[in-house]
Amino acid sequence: MNPSDPPAQRDPSDFLADAPGEPKWQEYSSGGRLAERLSGTVAEQLSNAIEARGVATLAVSGGRTPIPVFVALSERDIAWDKVIVTLVDERFVDTSSPRSNAALVIQRLLQRHAANAAFESLYEPVADAAMSAEVASRRLANLPQPFDVVMLGMGTDGHTASFFPKGDRLDEALDPKGEPRIVSMDAPDAGEPRLTWTLPALVNGRFIHLHIEGVEKKNVLFDALSDQESPYPIRAIFNHAKTTISIWYAPAEG
């Protein structure tokens, strides 16, 4: 195949049959259609959590892919004043940086109806990422957990959250017997030091959504789920999730 050729389409049934936890596959013709349906589902789950427990926690990922979902979710008229939003992971940068996940969430999600939500960032203005993780872990120790809704993405290297291949604290972050807390992460492809919730905080979520777009990411997920010894960190989410993971997929963004 010519290197410039697009990745081959692969049928999700090829890998879902052997995937751990029997994940639920939902495919849409465009990112816009996906955003409308996913935002409605998340809004309903948050509302049900509020009704059951008086408060709801939502952990979201950064990047470009979830932006349409954030915008659509911000327009959902729910009791946002009873919702606490936090990040799955963050770069060690403050909100003045265009690479800040917190800035993205503030600008794209915490608007319109969702402006009434509380927001807990992971970044702390301290000397380094390791110290930031420690301070943030103490600050967020009383954040209601398990998270009611966890919204994950995935990179073409198979990372989710800041579980990067070759990350310096990857084994610690992926320890299923560890504490739900925030750790720092340095990795060759991360761009800058990162902050991430550990695996237990994410896989204990009451509802877990994995949102991917594009054939390349679909094929990476195929490889991760079809190989029990997969080196892709995303595999750990499926291995240890306490609930069925919903995979939301569109072949192209927009």
Helix (H, G, I), strand (E, B) or coil at 208: strand
**How high is the pLDDT of residue 149?**
98
Q: Percent of the chain at pLDDT above 70? A: 94
Residue that is written with structure tokens 């291995």 in the block: 239
For residue range 36-64, list pLDDT tens digits in order: 999 999 999 999 999 999 999 999 999 99
* Strand order through the sheet with 245-250: 24-27, 245-250, 207-213, 149-152, 56-60, 83-87, 118-120
Give the residue among 102, 107, 65, 72 at the shortest CA–CA distance from 85: 102
| pLDDT band for position 12 (cuts 50, 70, 90) | confident
Q: Residue 221, class by beta-carbon neighbours within 10 Å (0-12 exposed, 13-18 middle, 19+ buried)?
A: buried
| pLDDT band for position 9 (cuts 50, 70, 90) | low
Q: Is the pLDDT of residue 212 over 90?
A: yes
Residue type, position 13, single letter: S
- CB distance 206 to 149 below 8 Å: yes
Delineate the domains of the chain, giving CATH numbers in brackets.
Answer: 19-250 (3.40.50.1360)
**How high is the pLDDT of residue 7?**
59
CB-based contacts of 45, cutoff 8 Å, min separation 6: 56, 148, 149, 206, 207
Distance CA 173, CA 61 (A): 16
CA torsion 124-130-134-136 (nearest 10°) is 30
